[in-house]
Structure 1
């Protein structure tokens, strides 16, 4: 398995009370931007990406920047997605609405959870 390197500007998990939220950039071997995301716990989110996205094994580097509010992080994420042409972002791109394997899995998981709760 390849080593993933990068920098985390503010190590840790976001403080939900204060709204700390991170934006993260995931890059491939040739420094291509694979994905931009937002989370209060990026490492936990990356675990989900690893389980659901076929592009995850291509990630070799990351950058994480923390913001004092979810709103500020969302604004930075949207700008990064539009400016960086991330290869695997769908939301907030011309690909929005495209059916993806991860989207199908999420939909099935929701349907199963709803059926189990009845």
Structure 2
């Protein structure tokens, strides 16, 4: 499973310009800066890490269909949005796994064991925890910085 970021690019007046997915956000944005004529009007980028590329792409398809960002090319017919009930079930399932993982880690469970059980990488769990402001993740990163633990 490979964590993938779903990102939205906005202008200064908070208008959505573009929706995309990537495993390497900074590199992707550098590429956009080189080849997108609309890049000078970008003000900020909002992104969210998801556990799989498939999940990120499904959310991307739905966002493009629902939000119609002006700089996304038209979706090909084979990239139809995922039905909302399926997407909601998927999101609910993901959130349940995340909550259980953070609860176990907060209770002292081993990160590697939780990662294996969730079928996520340890790095993804820490990144997701930081994104959601989970105290366990913030404490774990502080321990990494102090050299007390190493993230594999």
Same fold (TM over 0.5): yes
Aligned to 2:72: 89
* 1:16-27 equivalent positions in 2, closer than 5 A: 18-27=1-10
- Higher relative strand content: 1
Asked if 1:38 is matched to 2:12, the reply is: no
- Higher gyration radius (CA): 2
Matched, 1:75 2:75: no
- RMSD, matched Cα: 1.5
Tell me how far apart the structure 2 counterparts of residues 93 and 82 of structure 1 sit (CA, whole Å). Answer: 11
- Show structure 1 runs of 4+ deviating over 4 A: none
- Please give the alpha-carbon distance, in whole angstroms, between the structure 1 residues aligned to 2:15 and 2:76: 17
Q: TM-score, normalised by structure 2?
A: 0.48
1:66-106: CA deviation from partner (whole Å, max 9, x where unpaired): 11001000001111111111010004179xxxxxxxxxxxx
The answer to which structure, 1 or 2, has the higher relative contact order (CA under 8 A, 6+ apart) is: 1
- Unmatched segments (≥5 aa) in structure 2: 78-152
The alignment covers a number of residue pairs equal to 77
**Structure 1 gaps, min length 5:** 1-17, 95-118
1:106 equivalent in structure 2: none
State the alpha-carbon separation in 2 of the partners of residues 93 and 50 from structure 1. Answer: 24
Does residue 57 of structure 2 align to residue 64 of structure 1? no
